[in-house]
Structure 1
Amino acid sequence: MSHTEHEETILRTSPARMGKMLAILLGIMVIGGAIFFLNYDYWNSYLPTAGKIQEEGAAGSHAQGQGQATGKTVDVDIAFMESPDFKVYAFNALSGDGKNPEIHANVGDKIVFHVTNKGKSFHAFGVTASKEGPGPVIDGTTVGTADNPLKPGKGGDATFVASEPGEYYYICVVPGHRELGMEGKIEIAPSTGGSAASGAEVKPTGNKVEFTVSFVMSADFKQYAFDALPGQAGSNADIKVKSGDTVTIHVKNDSKSFHAFGVVVDPDNPSNVLWNSAVATPDNPLKPGKSGDVTFVAGAPGTYHYICTVPGHAALGMDAKFIVE
């Protein structure tokens, strides 16, 4: 047997095959690049772990940014916008007086931002006291986050109640977007005293009034209310008293869940109960079938709310007016 019979076949490819392989690889690279650049802002919105730690660590210094609401609400519409060439980023308008509108309010005013992403990129909204960078943002003021931004066409609401006068900013918290123009100023002045005094205590007049309210819920736990379900007679009836009245409220839990009662200025802030008007607490609520009483002196005139102070229950429907004349 000759030595040539033991030689292995050497495999070779043709120029045509090599060309096809290179074309396939080039196509994959082109498609991958297109996907990356079409979603550039999404990839750019990722905040590295080090940035997250820094943001979380600094957040404590601005924890005082959210304060106690006084009853006045300021509604603000905010829209993310970019120029077609993505060189100009702004709120509401790309130029002129409508661009990045300045907001004026007082300490305790509740500013409600109605945010919409009208751009073609990814954005996220927040309020900060920091004069530069993406934050730290004040708790409760965000719509979307840098890690989970708003897609084009999406939106949401955010609430900001300043506890101190000064200069704040509403921004896009996606890194780099504030520097590109997505920054508006919020000027907070000291409280005027009118609405801030609405929860003040007053001297009793000697007049006494009594009311009875009960927590009720639908069988499917989707409807929450006082005395009767929404749409039924007597549901969430107004309570009207006079300033200085000694008010006694008898509270019954006629539902199958746990509840607590209180009179507040802002139903979105159930922890701030006025005039020692609480019956039970979110930590120690009324069990189903239980009841309780509370007596207090109605404070300064104004429109307040009696609510279930268990977080989330007021928003689900256990929110009615307590009017002091």
Structure 2
Amino acid sequence: MKQPALHPLLLALMLLGAAPAFAHGDETHKKTSSLVKMEQKEWGIGGDAKAVKRTIEVKMADNMRFTPDRIEVKEGDTLRIRLSNTGQVLHEMVLGTAPVLAEHAALMKRFPNMEHDEPYMAHVPAGKTGEIIWTFNRPGEFDFACLIAGHFEAGMVGKIVVTPTAGAEK
């Protein structure tokens, strides 16, 4: 029986000795800008640290809550969201829309070791800190959540309200 051919990208990564980073392991995930694609999303785009207008401190705890669980920002602002995991288990923050987060949470339940490293998410081990730098370049109401199995379902969610800049079209 003939074996199927390896996908060229997978073969190239294997030959380069690239090791995948699992999103929900015990290691801190660092964003590697050369590998992370900055892509426009409905809720904004990855930000440049030099453009940060404001830093928001957000605590993540084992009571399955973010504090604060509501963030207000002006359209066009780049925020540094500094995350502090005050709990005893791994937590994460993922920015998105309610439907996108619900779909991703369902995938995480099915594939708990799914690999992902996007600029709109941060995985923070117990007692550690992390950050997301994000440009909110579209007005609207968006969401964030911890998508680790069980956390989302327990209500570990929040809201981001992006107000339009003066004179911007709605």
Q: TM-score, normalised by structure 1?
A: 0.32
Spell out, residue by residue over 1:248-301, the C-alpha distance to the aligned partner (whole angstroms, 9 max, x if none).
Answer: xxxxxxxxxxxxxxxxxxxxxxxxxxxxxxxxxxxxxxxxxxxxxxxxxxxxxx
Match of 1:104 among 62, 68, 72: 72
Q: Whose strand fraction is larger, Structure 1's or Structure 2's?
A: 2
Give the structure with higher Rg (CA).
1
Partner of 1:191: 165
SS at match of 1:62: coil
State the 1:153 CA deviation: 0.6
Partner of 2:64: 89
SS at match of 1:177: coil
Work out whether residues 90 and 181 of structure 1, in 8 Å CA contact, stay in contact via their aligned partners in 2: yes
Partner of 1:142: 121
Q: TM-score, normalised by structure 2?
A: 0.57
State the 1:128 CA deviation: 1.0
Work out whether residues 73 and 110 of structure 1, in 8 Å CA contact, stay in contact via their aligned partners in 2: yes
Sequence identity, in percent? 22
Residue 182 of structure 1 pairs with residue 156 of structure 2 = yes
Displacement over 4 Å in runs of 4+ = none
Query: Structure 2: where are the runs of 5+ without partners?
Result: 1-23, 26-38, 106-115
Work out whether residues 46 and 120 of structure 2, in 8 Å CA contact, stay in contact via their aligned partners in 1: no
Residue 65 of structure 1 pairs with residue 44 of structure 2 = yes
1:242-261 to 2 correspondence within 5 Å? none
RMSD: 3.3
State the 1:187 CA deviation: 0.3
1:128–1:138 CA distance, 2 compared to 1 (3 A): farther
Distance 2:55 2:83 in 1: 11
Aligned residues: 119
Q: Which amino acid aligns with 2:71?
A: I
Q: Which amino acid aligns with 1:91?
A: F
Partner of 1:79: 59
Distance 1:105 1:73 in 2: 10
Residue 156 of structure 1 pairs with residue 140 of structure 2 = no
Q: Which amino acid aligns with 2:86?
A: K
Q: Which amino acid aligns with 1:73?
A: K
Query: Structure 1: where are the runs of 5+ without partners?
Result: 1-44, 47-59, 83-87, 93-99, 145-149, 194-325
Residue 133 of structure 1 pairs with residue 102 of structure 2 = yes
SS at match of 1:120: coil
Which structure ranks higher in relative contact order (CA pairs < 8 Å, sequence separation ≥ 6)? 2
